[in-house]
A and B are shown apart, each in its own frame.
Chain A
Amino acid sequence: MEANEQMTNVSSATDPFLKPYPDKRLKSRAWNKSLVVMRTTLLLLTVLTVYAFVSFDYKEVDFKEAALGTLTNIKVMFLEPHLKHFTFLQAVHQVFVTLGLAFLTTLFGGLIAVLLGLLAAENLSSRRVSLLIKGLVSFIRAVPTVLWVLIFAVAAGLGSVAAVIGMTFHSVSYLVKAYSESFEELDRGAIEALQASGANWWQIVFQAVIPSSLTYMISWTFLRFEINFAVAVAMGAAAGAGGIGFDMFMASNFYLDIREIGAITYFILILAILLEVFGAGLKKKLKVNG
């Protein structure tokens, strides 16, 4: 504080532009609206967290026993995995079924989302159309994928069809947002130049907009593919869409075989790591060319 005061004194003395500061304390930040909102939110969250922990109903859970039991389960699951109800090759096949589900829904979603994304980008479409599409997709996005699958299961019946439609639906809404935002970030100049040369909308889109945002589009699409893989595992169980998720569901709920769950988890984990490595490589390559 002392240093601050000295600073003000010095500057007011030497700098003719600075009038002597009226207040003695020099504040380092102004209290504006956003700061107040942020501080209040943090305070509220802290209070709520503390309250929640204090007011939990712990019943007669013995923490030591519960923790030990969980650890034993994890140990059995991951250190003694085995396959009992299907072979290794069958498991690999099922993993690829799940991967196929993720791939198909990302592909459908991506294709539809490119078109809708162009219409949702404010610089390429009218404000009204853009707002309409953005509003619609944010509604679709707000409802979880699982719920969409179950909604479509009413018409298509539980199974892979409902899963594909529901997951595509949610992928579209996610990718429309991602694509349209990368279109909107585009430099207006190139679009203006092509407009001034008499090119039409489709030509501008394919010659300037898409080439410029291709890197973003690919990395967003791949991210959605990873999400869809995780969702596809869950859909196998929740909607009976098949794949490794369904085997996991059977192992846990039907055979009650915790060791098999461990083995399946390893399969999913390995594939997730492979996807991650592939995705990182892809992004690196895009950056080099990008």
Chain B
Amino acid sequence: MAALLEVNHVSKQFGKDTKALKDVHFSVAEGEFVSIIGPSGAGKSTLLRCINRMVDATSGEIIFDNRNVLDLKKKELKTIRTKIGMVFQHYNLVNRLSVIENALHGKLGNKSALAGVLGLYSIDEKEEAMKILNALGLADLIYKRADQLSGGQKQRVGIARALLQNPRMLLCDEPIASLDPGSAKVIMDHLKNISTNWGITILVNLHQVDVALKYSDRIIGINNGQVVYNGSPKNLTKDDIQLIYGSEAEDLIFDVGGIHAS
């Protein structure tokens, strides 16, 4: 499998002396499901946002689909962004619009400005939206307003919006951090399904180590802006977790062996 995304020696500095990312280096193959774990403030969100340039990295290079994202001009950047879907912790839907309108927002990047402004979508686009909403179990809710949905439903709309971009890759910024365990499982199952059946690469920030172990093909551990672990979930040891989360976390985090056994 060829590498779809390569992050080479990327650093990000906020202000004079806040280093959010320090020489981050990894690559992601097409179709892979990669989890990024690490304590709050370690730079997970910054890293994801550097990839689609919602945040500009200070140095290094990010190669997506053989192009360096950091060199792109405004117009090319928009084209690349349409190929990278993003899912957020707080869903980031437009509350006053319906489910289907929110989902169709994924199509805006591929439309002419005027059609997008007026919200004119073709029959094909609407049917595609219906298909995806159906696959995510939202078929009965398409005309409901986004703010009437539960958290899990909102997140599924967020995923539908990202999928309607026909993306090569999904960036998920803590997609289940605000959800109850039941809804979280539904969301993670959908993401896993998208990865295996649709062949879309998934890069997901997670807080829950057990979830990361269960779902991902590979885990990247980040602490203090640096990659401290990069490998298969099977090889993740207690020592690695201590390295990622610091020694204080040792007591809080369950027995890794137990998780592997289950």
Contacts and interface: CB of A to CB of B under 8 A. Distances in A.
B82 interface: yes
Interface residues of A, number: 22
Contacts of B95: 190, 212
Nearest to B110: A198
A208 B101 CA distance: 10
A189 B113 contact: no
A194 B96 contact: no
A65 to B, nearest CB: 61
A192 interface: yes
B165 A193 contact: no
Interface residues of B, number: 35
B10 interface: no
Nearest to A200: B113
A199 B104 CA distance: 12
Contacts of A190: 92-95
Given A202-B113, A207-B94, A214-B96, A197 B81 contact: yes
Candidate in B91, B109, B110, B158 with the most chain A CB atoms within 10 angstroms: B109
Contact of B165 (A198, A214, A290): A198
A193 B109 contact: no
Given A195-B54, A197-B106, A212-B94, A202 B86 contact: no
A206 B111 CA distance: 14
Contact of A197 (B93, B96, B109, B117): B109
B97 interface: yes
Contacts of B54: 192, 195-196
A199 B90 contact: no
Nearest to B118: A206
A198 B91 CA distance: 17
Interface in B69-94: 78-82, 84-86, 88, 90-94
Contact of B96 (A200, A205, A212): A212
B171 to A, nearest CB: 8
B156 interface: no
Contacts of B90: 189
B106 to A, nearest CB: 6
Contacts of A192: 54, 88, 92
Contacts of A73: none
Contacts, number: 87
A189 to B, nearest CB: 3
Given A197-B105, A200-B78, A203-B116, A189 B162 contact: no
Given A206-B118, A207-B116, A211-B97, A199 B108 contact: yes
Contacts of A197: 81-82, 85-86, 105-106, 108-109, 161-162, 165
Contacts of B81: 195-198
A207 B108 contact: yes
A193 B88 contact: yes
Contacts of B119: 206-207
Contacts of A212: 94-96
Interface in A129-185: none
A195 B105 CA distance: 11
Contacts of A203: 108, 111, 113, 116-117
A197 B80 CA distance: 9
B177 to A, nearest CB: 14
B115 to A, nearest CB: 9
Nearest to B87: A193
Interface of A: 187, 189-190, 192-200, 202-203, 205-208, 211-212, 214, 290
8 contacts: A190-B92, A196-B84, A196-B86, A196-B171, A197-B86, A198-B165, A199-B116, A202-B116
Given A212-B94, A212-B95, 15 more contacts: A189-B91, A190-B92, A193-B92, A197-B85, A197-B108, A198-B80, A198-B109, A198-B110, A200-B113, A202-B113, A203-B116, A206-B117, A206-B119, A207-B117, A208-B94
CB-CB nearest 3 A-B residue pairs: A198-B109, A189-B92, A203-B116
